[in-house]
A = this chain, B = another copy of it.
Amino acid sequence: MSEQIKVVLTDDEMPRQWYNLQADFEKPLPPPLGPDGNPIGPEALAPVFPMNLIEQEVSQERWTDIPEAILGILKMWRPSPLYRATRLEQHLGTPAKIYYKNEGVSPAGSHKPNTAIAQAYYNKIAGTKRLTTETGAGQWGSALSFSCAMVGLECKVYMVRISFDQKPFRKIMMQTWGGECVPSPSEMTEVGRKILADDPNCPGSLGIAISEALEEAVQSEDTKYSLGSVLNHVCMHQTVIGLEAKKQFEKIGETPDVIIGCAGGGSNFAGLAFPYVCDKIHGKDVRIIAVEPAACPTLTRAPYVYDSGDVAMMTPLMAMHSLGHTFVPAPIHAGGLRYHGMAPMVSHCVKEGLVEANSLHQLECYKAAVTFARTEGFIPAPETSHAIAQVIREANQAKEEGKEKVIVMNWSGHGLMDLSAYQAYFDGKLSDHELSDADMEKALHCIDGLPKPPA
């Protein structure tokens, strides 16, 4: 029964600016390309995003002021607490000090509202009346529905049909916040109708849902599209996490030696890591580790290529680690980590040697999640469990080496909407999914003939 150590900041200590890692990259990010293979300008994105967000997407400025109106809403749950996991340390018998930044305290239960609020706000002041988006398991769709309710926008979410049917609770959250959630493919778009005509029982995919959300957005002047990860401005909005963590560590006179986050599209990882990547670029000795599922090993096994963000190739081509835009990962429960690509900025960090990557199997992650819940109390999301499992590996290694090191992880969200996955784990119904070399090779065929990024 050891004392809880919790480092909190006052509202006044909240970061007033977002950090843009692009300003500190030695080599610049390769530009996004259009269908013709030439770099696109900001105007190419204008049918989809408002200009204020496009400016952030292409900005090379190190700091961007956070508008007071956004700070006002983020204060509902920010600054988020930094916890020391003393009971987990004792359980492991490790000399390492383990800290976690609890992003599960937001009304939607994850880090996602950090950017959802910002995107909703910028759309609101740009005159947007309605946002469309896609969602898989529903984490992002619920965060955007919540955020649209807070700023006064309509929200339409295309949810992958199989998740819509199997995971009804996220849909009810969206509805409670006034969001409209429809199963995708739907009869509401041309692409949806076409797919349903071919296959009335199509279970849907993230790629189809993106296409439907984009189709609706481009057809109406006052409707825009919103994406919950991958893009530069999304990663930037999440840096409040790392900027807060730095202030919190300053308060207790500690400096983390190891920074850990799970990575699907990359924004949750980026949020904690990027302010520390900046330190590393400027000479600081720190290990920064992105953790992904072995079933979707983007950073650890996929090539660094130009690829599209969606299956229908409606987005520009981005230079990133990708398993190919047609890749469909095994049905692991960490739905937020089942993405074929990776944020270009995170990919760039790995390519430049600033960030390590590791992939883990889900059984190890669930075991780690249960250990965490029984020692630290908070029940983690399946995505978050990947960070926890890596932390436990590092802590065990510290024990073997007899080294005291300071580890911090981004605890990206709670698992209260994912309890059926825990049940499956307890019932022995989960298994590990290793992507075979043959399947990976097959998946990568879809990028044959696309341009290659600079080496």
Contact = CB atoms under 8 A, between A and B. Distances in A.
B4 A73 contact: yes
A-side interface mostly? helix
A397 to B, nearest CB: 26
A272 to B, nearest CB: 21
A373 interface: yes
Contact of A416 (B124, B370, B417, B420): B417
B168 A1 contact: no
A417 to B, nearest CB: 7
Contact of A175 (B10, B72, B168, B422): B422
B75 A149 contact: no
A402 interface: no
Given A6-B76, A176-B370, A146 B419 contact: no
A18 to B, nearest CB: 18
Nearest to A151: B1
A3 B75 CA distance: 8
A2 interface: yes
Given A373-B176, A378-B107, A76 B4 contact: yes
Interface in A90-144: 105, 107, 109, 121, 124
Contacts of A11: 6, 8
Interface in A154-177: 168-169, 172-173, 175-177
B379 A107 contact: yes
- Interface size on A, as a range, is 35 or more
A52 interface: no
B374 A177 contact: yes
B72 A377 contact: no
Interface in A347-399: 370, 373-375, 377-379
A72 B176 contact: no
Nearest to A369: B176
A426 interface: yes
B6 A176 contact: no
A109 B416 contact: yes
Nearest to A9: B8
B374 A1 contact: no
Contacts of A151: 1
A379 B176 contact: yes
Contacts of A178: 374
Nearest to A172: B419
Contact of A426 (B8, B83, B87, B175): B175
A72 B172 contact: no
Contact of A423 (B76, B168, B378): B168
Contacts of A35: none
Contacts of A150: 1, 87, 377
B69 A1 contact: yes
Contacts of A420: 168-169, 172
Contact of A176 (B87, B175, B422): B422
Interface in A418-439: 419-420, 422-423, 426
10 contacts: A1-B73, A3-B75, A8-B8, A149-B375, A169-B419, A169-B420, A173-B416, A176-B370, A178-B374, A416-B417
Given A4-B76, A177-B379, 19 more contacts: A1-B69, A1-B121, A1-B124, A3-B72, A3-B75, A4-B74, A8-B8, A8-B10, A107-B378, A107-B379, A149-B375, A168-B419, A168-B423, A172-B419, A173-B379, A175-B426, A176-B422, A177-B373, A178-B374
Closest 5 CB pairs of A and B: A3-B72, A172-B419, A107-B377, A4-B75, A169-B419
